[in-house]
Each structure stands twice: as C-alpha cells, then as structure tokens.
Chain A
Amino acid sequence: SQKIEQNSEALNIQEGKTATLTCNYTNYSPAYLQWYRQDPGRGPVFLLLIRENEKEKRKERLKVTFDTTLKQSLFHITASQPADSATYLCAPQKTNQAGTALIFGKGTTLSVSS
C-alpha cells in the first residue's frame, strides 16, 4: 500500500537557521507533490506544488526538491522565523483529472525559537 513518511514528528531550530523537512514515499509514483502548512485547529494551507519533471521549486524563503529516483522530497525554509512554527504536511499526488484527492503524510511540527 502507499506509504508516506515525514522525517520526524518534531523539529526544533533557532531563528535565522534553515529548516529542512523530509518526505519519503513508497509503493507509488506521484506525478506531483504538494506541501501544506497547518496551524493548530485550522485547515491546511497550500504552500508549493512541484511536478515530477521539476527538480526544484522556490517561493520566497521556501524551496522544494523532488527526487523521483530516491522517492523523496525535501522542503527548506531559509532564514526561519518564529512565525514559521507550524506543522508541515507533504502530499504526493497522482494525476487526477477530477480534482484533488491528496494522500498526506503525518506531518512534521516545526518550532522556531527566537
């Protein structure tokens, strides 16, 4: 069955450092991979989408890589800030012409201390 693993449940870093979150998947080949941010008691918020033929994608302080050989995506937040503290979810996605049905990982909770 499809399995998604995010490197750790919790990651604690100091303000200004780069946070690196890992997402590994097994038993399927997603065409896309999405990353979401979720704050406590709220719904997830979309951050970035990367396609299987893209190696890297950037948006402001965020960078995502997608290695289909390793079946892995890395999510980086540079110059991290306390406001970046949240749970980050990865969701490898198969092609779905009817819309979005995402399979999420468990999430990694990032805490950025000042």
Chain B
Amino acid sequence: DAGVTQSPTHLIKTRGQHVTLRCSPISGHKSVSWYQQVLGQGPQFIFQYYEKEERGRGNFPDRFSARQFPNYSSELNVNALLLGDSALYLCASSVITGTGATEAFFGQGTRLTVV
C-alpha cells in the first residue's frame, strides 16, 4: 500500500506569493493533519480535517487555510508568503479508533523556501 504522499517535494517562492501544497492520505484514512517544521524545531500543528470538516486549528495566521476533498485528500494554502514561512510542511493521516488514540502516518514533506 502507498503511504502518505505529498507534492511537490520542494518549492521555491517569492515573498508575497501564494502556495498550494497537496497531500494524499493512506487509503481508508479519513483524518488529515498539517504541520509546519522549522529547522531545529519539532513539527507545529496547523490544521486537522476529518470527514471534510476542520476539527482543529493551531496558532497560525489567517494566511494559512486548508481543505479536504471527498476522496480525503487535502490542500494547504498559504497566502502572502513571508520569509518566515520557509519550512518543511508535513501532512499526516490517521485512522479513527474508538479510543481516539491513534498513530499518525507522515508523508515525506514539502520543503518550502521563500526568498
């Protein structure tokens, strides 16, 4: 089975531009989460989607938005890019269990560089 796939793997954008990152979860996983990881830090939670609805949002500005499609794939959009948005963007999918405790499967990430 394919794991979580993200595209593109690398991206260079100019300040003020907009970017769209894409994520395909593992088949059967209905929950997708997005994380930003700056060099030397742990991943920071941005969004969580489940059944096409936003279920959680981290402490990120409104320039960040996301959506989940009927096939459970997801997009992360960032508007008005800043130099500080340069990071590894990670997507994770998970399956829902009755207890709520479930491991997250991460993609390889999209390395975004803003110049």
Contacts and interface: CB of A to CB of B under 8 A. Distances in A.
Interface string A72-114: 0000000000000000010001011111111111110000000
B86 to A, nearest CB: 14
B105 A107 contact: no
Interface in A1-56: 4, 31-32, 34, 41-46, 49, 51
Contact of B101 (A89, A93, A104, A105): A93
A41 to B, nearest CB: 8
Most B-side CB within 10 Å, residue of A46, A96, A104, A106: A96
Interface residues of A, number: 27
A89 B102 contact: no
10 contacts: A4-B42, A42-B108, A89-B43, A96-B48, A98-B50, A99-B55, A99-B102, A102-B45, A103-B45, A107-B41
> Sorted from nearest, which 10 A-B pairs have the closest CB atoms?
A99-B31, A43-B106, A104-B42, A98-B55, A46-B103, A98-B50, A100-B94, A101-B48, A101-B56, A32-B101
